[in-house]
Amino acid sequence: MPELCALVDAFLDHLKVERALSPRTIGAYASDIAAFVATVEEAGGGGGGIRPEVVSEHLVRLSRRGISRRSQARALSALRTMFRYLREQKLLAADPTEDVSAPKMTRTLPVVLAVPEVERLLAAPPLSTPRGFRDAAMLHTMYAAGLRVSELVGLKLADVDLEAGFLAVTGKGEKRRLVPLGEWAIAFIRRYLEIVRPLWARPGEPAMFLTHWRRPMTRQGFWLIVKRYARAAGIAKPLSPHKLRHSFASHLLDRGADLRSVQAMLGHVDISTTQIYTHVSTARIAEVHRERHPRG
């Protein structure tokens, strides 16, 4: 379908050149839109002739394939963004997503670790080896600053100010924010930079966390690190790097942090994204009441 493909290419070029989105984000848009193009081709539509019914049919097909409602909503959001752009550029007369309702979301509470579980996880790496000490420094940094895994492995030496006790983090949309570090994380980072990193760093290497292969740590590599130490710490619940970020936010709110401060540290654009952690804290309060109150 050359006409639709040309419109898609124009939109993806817009994301790359004008909005300067990351290759990974553009790839996610391209994947969602390619699935929609396949539905349009099967329906026999194209270009300006795409009807809202085809968009609705596409969401139905995603549902039949077992795609989650969250992923369906993301796919619709990608299509909305594309058709809105095409209409603004007068490449389409109408936006076929305008009257299509997004799938209703059932928001599940994030899984968080209890404070003793986090303490066991942070204590799991062996500090007698360079790799163990690097792993401890990474785990302490992620929990202390509530980082996304991509933010953690993307840290550069220039992003770290240990004297001031802050990280300059590059988050989604290349937005920068300052996040404080606690004394424990500062101590581990300082010793890692003094003792371990010089063993592996090539001259001029900007990345902060490196592997013993002298390359920057990857998201996949850190995911394996978290899984390994979760087992060593005897943590039974499923654990991923992102759950450390969930735990960071929940523990701050449990101890009286205000929502706006947590939002700023997490780098959330919309405070409603942060508010889910207030529900986690409420759930924890209810659990404590049940367990501790004599008539709970």
CATH code of the domain covering residue 29: 1.10.150
- Whether 130 and 74 map to the same domain: the answer is no
**Given 88, 104, 139, which residue is the final one in a domain?**
88
pLDDT, one tens digit per residue, over 176-231 is: 888 889 899 999 999 999 999 999 999 999 999 999 999 999 999 999 999 999 99
Read off the amino acid at residue 96: P
Decide if 96 is inside a domain. no
Q: 60 and 103 in contact (C-beta within 8 Å)?
A: no
- Whether 144 and 72 map to the same domain: the answer is no
- Whether 248 and 207 map to the same domain: the answer is yes
User: From CA 244, how far away is CA 210, in angstroms rounded?
Assistant: 20
DSSP sequence for 191-216 = HIIIIIHHHHPPTT--BSSB-TTSSB
Question: Is residue 283's pLDDT more than 70?
Answer: no
- Whether 79 and 138 map to the same domain: the answer is no
Read off the amino acid at residue 221: G
Q: Which residue numbers are catalytic?
A: 148, 172, 242, 245, 268, 277
- Whether 176 and 281 map to the same domain: the answer is yes
Decide if 128 is inside a domain. yes
Decide if 168 is inside a domain. yes
Decide if 99 is inside a domain. no
- Whether 70 and 174 map to the same domain: the answer is no
Supply the pTM of this predicted model: 0.63
The values of phi and psi at residue 178, to 5°, are: -100, 130
Decide if 106 is inside a domain. no
- Whether 285 and 250 map to the same domain: the answer is yes
pLDDT, one tens digit per residue, over 30-87 is: 999 999 998 888 876 555 568 888 888 898 898 888 888 888 889 999 999 999 999 9
Task: State the residue range of the domain holding 209.
Answer: 115-292
